[in-house]
Amino acid sequence: MMNEFQIIQDFFNQQKMHRDDVTLGIGDDAAIVSIPADHQLVITTDTLVENVHFLANTAPFDIGYKSLAVNLSDLAAMGATPTWITLALTLPQKDPHWLSEFSRGLMTLAAQYNIELIGGDLTRGPLTITIQAHGVVPNHQALRRDQAKPGDLIYITHTLGNAALALELMQQNKIIPESLSTCLNRPEPRITIGKKLLTIAHAAIDISDGLAADLSHILAQSQVGAEINIEQLPISKQLLEITSPEHALTLALTGGDDYELCFTIPPDKIQMLDFDCTCIGHITAKKGLHLRYANGNLYAGTLRGYQHF
């Protein structure tokens, strides 16, 4: 019989890598870690619920991978270096194959960023995964949503819309290319870019609910507005091959799950951007989000992103 402690031992306490700053990991009532000198602790948590955040037929490896990826994306948006995670897992039953694959997906990404799993919880119920991710950032340097300034240029990393299209096609039971399903199931947290942005960007956010919704958070918290040229939005070639330009635009603006970064920088810093990113507009003192075609006409499509309530 595999009891609770055996599950933890067999599937979650097998990490090879151990960090020097972990005094006490899995096995006691709580974990103990040391924060490096002159750094602040950055903490985030995200829950994934079956049929809400992923389809029931998603591979367990991908569920493990994505549960961590979405948390790391939040740390990336703060410019933090990830260090430790805890995992609260609610399972309908104990399924060794599922647990093994889930754990492998989670640990694959954790190993990539030198992250140690230092504790968690295990309960029975509808499949739900909650990860709390911890990271560190040099004192007072974290990227925030409330520091965008009029005149800043607005940038997006990589491309938008692929994950939303993948979800749409899967919901229609269509076969989709693996490169597209990877965008949905194994998003790459932009940790390296976030760290580079620490000394460059004024504000940053990760795009989980669609560009329009997430950029609006920066605008509201920084008390500024933005002018966006929608013809400059980075949309992948692949997206344009599969769907119409109009639909691609809707997906880029309102589709969720891309986990790219949107950041604002003063114009004199653009030569420091040595990674894949695209300027889509600028921050204005006048409030409001204005999306325009290159000819100046306002974009009239929907801007509403995914909302749970």
What is the contact surface with ligand ADP in residues (CB under 6 A)? Answer: 8, 12, 26-29, 87, 89, 117, 119-122
Whole-number minimum distance, CB 27 to ligand ADP, in Å? 5
Whole-number minimum distance, CB 118 to ligand ADP, in Å? 7
Residue with smaller CB distance to ligand ADP, 120 or 225: 120
Whole-number minimum distance, CB 90 to ligand ADP, in Å? 10
Residue with smaller CB distance to ligand ADP, 22 or 122: 122
Residue tagged 């932009």 (tokens): 190
Whole-number minimum distance, CB 186 to ligand ADP, in Å? 21
Q: State which amino acid sits at residue 105.
A: G
DSSP string, 252-270: HHH-----EEEEEE-GGGG
Whole-number minimum distance, CB 236 to ligand ADP, in Å? 35
- Residues 6 or more apart in contact with residue 37 via CB below 8 angstroms: none
Phi/psi-derived region of residue 234, left when phi > 0, alpha when psi is between -120 and 50, beta in every other case: beta
Residue with smaller CB distance to ligand ADP, 123 or 302: 123
CB atoms < 10 A from the CB of 25, how many? Answer: 18
Distance CA 266, CA 200 (A): 8
Residue with smaller CB distance to ligand ADP, 4 or 276: 4
Spatial contact of 8 and 117, defined as CB atoms under 8 Å apart: no
Residue with smaller CB distance to ligand ADP, 4 or 146: 4
Residue with smaller CB distance to ligand ADP, 122 or 198: 122
The H-assigned helical ranges of the chain are 4-7, 60-78, 96-112, 162-171, 178-185, 191-197, 211-222, 237-242, 245-254
Residues β-bridged to residue 135: 42, 82
Whole-number minimum distance, CB 31 to ligand ADP, in Å? 7
